[in-house]
Copies of this chain bind each other. A is one copy, B any other.
Amino acid sequence: MGVTIAIDCMGGDHGPAVTVPATLSFLRTHADASAILVGRAEAIQPLLGDAAAEFGARLRLHPASEVVAMDDPPAIAMRNKKDSSMRVAIDLVKAGDAAAAVSAGNTGALMAISRFVLKTLPGIDRPAIATVLPSMKGHTYVLDLGANVDCSAEHLLQFGVMGAMLVAAIEHTERPSVGLLNIGEEVIKGNDVVKEAGELLRNSGLNFYGNVEGNDIYEGTVDVVVCDGFVGNVALKTSEGLAQMIGAFLKQEFKRSPLTRLMAIFALPVLKRFKQRVDHRLYNGAPLLGLRGVVLKSHGSADAVAFGNALSRAAEAASNRLIERISERMASMNEVKA
């Protein structure tokens, strides 16, 4: 019997219209997985078709009467919406009924509720959010992208451990390499926190590469890039903006005249293959790390393809003992210290 994923069907910009079809496709391609659709039955039921016949016990609907809005403050979502689809999905992980939860809802609320319900693992002060990005050599995992804006060196060390264990679980890499995001060698090398974090990582027993710079994310220099949540957010959003601009410029140039439009038709198959390679939907599904349970955040605007990738990543993390790997590693580090 494979893993069971609890899905917050109501979250995200499109709600059940995306989450339900994505779940059905996921069940078709993951024959040993099961899914629990969490949310308002009246919104989910009409989208199921003959799924009950197709999947039998592999698909369940678990009603939840409330919905966390994209602009709900995390504290309000947590205290006042105890029957939200987001909360109930995480409760199912806590109860052991699901191995992972996936939500496209409000990031702040998801983090607050996950932390409150699941609690952090021993030795982890703050959960982090990781993302996967394409690189010249494959994939690079970057963390933190969450709310950890003022990090200590110890926090950055913990991010390193969590990121390495994530890559070990999802990519089946034996000893993932970890880099610490820093600034150019020409100038003073980073602030005191980063320098101290470098020392801690060097002595951590992880496969620590040393300092890396922003360009190393896409060059694929290391498997995991560690930074605080402020820097990680800026790196990610800057990348999104640049990719959009490049795409828009390419489109504009190919639309400039009838002749260039003709060229676009010739080049289309190539441009399509290129687009598939950098398709951000491939990289959807950001794990919340450091919790006593697997939770993944999907982009709010995800379509069914993107949401499906988040579901697959959740199944991969849960079936490859992500939580156990992190807690074992933290325990062995603390033994060395003691």
Chain B residues closer than 8 Å to A331, beta-carbon distance: none
Check A216–B239 contact: CB distance below 8 A: no
Check B190–A217 contact: CB distance below 8 A: no
Contacts A233-B183, A234-B234, A234-B235 known; A242 to B245 CB distance under 8 Å?
A: no
9-residue interface stretch from A35-43, A224-232, A286-294, A314-322: A224-232
Q: Scan residues 136-192 of chain A and give those whose CB is less than 8 A from a CB of chain B.
A: 136, 146-147, 149-150, 181, 183-184, 186-188, 190-192
Contact of A244 with B by CB under 8 A: yes
Check B136–A229 contact: CB distance below 8 A: no
Check B190–A214 contact: CB distance below 8 A: no
Contact of A63 with B by CB under 8 A: no
Contact of A253 with B by CB under 8 A: yes
Contact of A243 with B by CB under 8 A: yes
Chain B residues closer than 8 Å to A136, beta-carbon distance: 245, 248
Among A237, A238, A246, A254, max chain B CB count under 10 A is at A238
Cross-interface CB contact of A231 among B184, B230, B236, B264, cutoff 8 Å:
B230
Contact of A48 with B by CB under 8 A: no
Q: How near does chain B come to A104, taking the closest CB pair, in angstroms?
A: 12
Chain B residues closer than 8 Å to A240, beta-carbon distance: 214-215
Q: How near does chain B come to A78, taking the closest CB pair, in angstroms?
A: 15
Chain B residue with Cβ nearest A260: B270
Check A215–B229 contact: CB distance below 8 A: no
Among A187, A191, A192, A277, max chain B CB count under 10 A is at A187
Cross-interface CB contact of A244 among B215, B241, B256, cutoff 8 Å:
B215
Chain B residue with Cβ nearest A255: B270
Contact of A120 with B by CB under 8 A: no
Chain B residues closer than 8 Å to A229, beta-carbon distance: 183, 187
Question: What is the oligomeric copy number?
Answer: 2
Check A253–B237 contact: CB distance below 8 A: no
Chain B residue with Cβ nearest A191: B149
Q: Scan residues 82-114 of chain A and give those whose CB is less than 8 A from a CB of chain B.
A: 106-108, 111
Contacts A107-B187, A266-B266 known; A237 to B249 CB distance under 8 Å?
A: no
Q: How near does chain B come to A303, taking the closest CB pair, in angstroms?
A: 19
Chain B residues closer than 8 Å to A54, beta-carbon distance: none
- A–B pairs, 18, beta carbons within 8 Å: A107-B184, A134-B245, A135-B245, A149-B183, A149-B191, A213-B237, A215-B240, A231-B234, A239-B239, A242-B243, A249-B278, A254-B267, A256-B270, A256-B273, A263-B267, A263-B269, A266-B266, A267-B267
